[in-house]
Structures are given as C-alpha cells and as structure tokens.
Amino acid sequence: MRSALEEIRSGKFARDFICEKETGQHRYVNLLREAEEHPIEKAGVRLRGLMGWREKRKPAPALPSRSARPFGK
C-alpha cells in the first residue's frame, strides 16, 4: 500500500496510466483477460447458476469492443 501511495504522490502512476492509454492498453487488456480466466470467476458463474431466485442474465462479453473501451483509442 505504501508503494502504491508513493507512486500516486510522485506522479509515476499517472505517467504510467497515460503511457498505457497512448500505447494501446495492452497491459489493461491482458489484466482483464487474466481476471476473466481466473478459477474464482468460473466458480462464481457456477454458484450464481445455482441461485434459483436470481434473475437470469446474458453473460457479459469477454472483452469490450475496441470502440467501447474506456480511455479511448
């Protein structure tokens, strides 16, 4: 936590964030993909399926389309 706070205070976080945006958000997309493929997500889908009282919904798309991604590009 301290290192994260220091990155925010020093401006490193903002510089890295802007660089990520300007270079096509490859790290962001990879992090999203890794999170979606994590075993806890598969368990969550299964558990939500067992909850009969919940409204059935369409699953979210795997990754947003390039035009719909936050932060442009």
**Would 38 be classed as within a structural domain?**
yes
Res 64 pLDDT > 70: no
Structural domain for 31, as ranges: 25-52
Q: Is residue 44 part of a domain?
A: yes
pLDDT for the residue 69: 59
In a domain, 40, yes or no: yes
- Cα radius of gyration rounded to whole Å, the chain: 17
**Mean pLDDT of the region 17-38:** 94
Contact at 8 Å (CB) between 73 and 21? yes
Whole-prediction pTM value?
0.51
Check pLDDT > 70 for residue 67.
no
pLDDT score, position 48: 87
What's the maximum distance between 2 C-alpha atoms anywhere in the chain?
A: 49
At 30-63, the pLDDT tens digits run 999 999 999 999 899 899 888 877 776 677 666 6
Number of domains making up the chain: 1
Is 17 part of any domain? no
**Can you give the pLDDT at residue 49?**
87
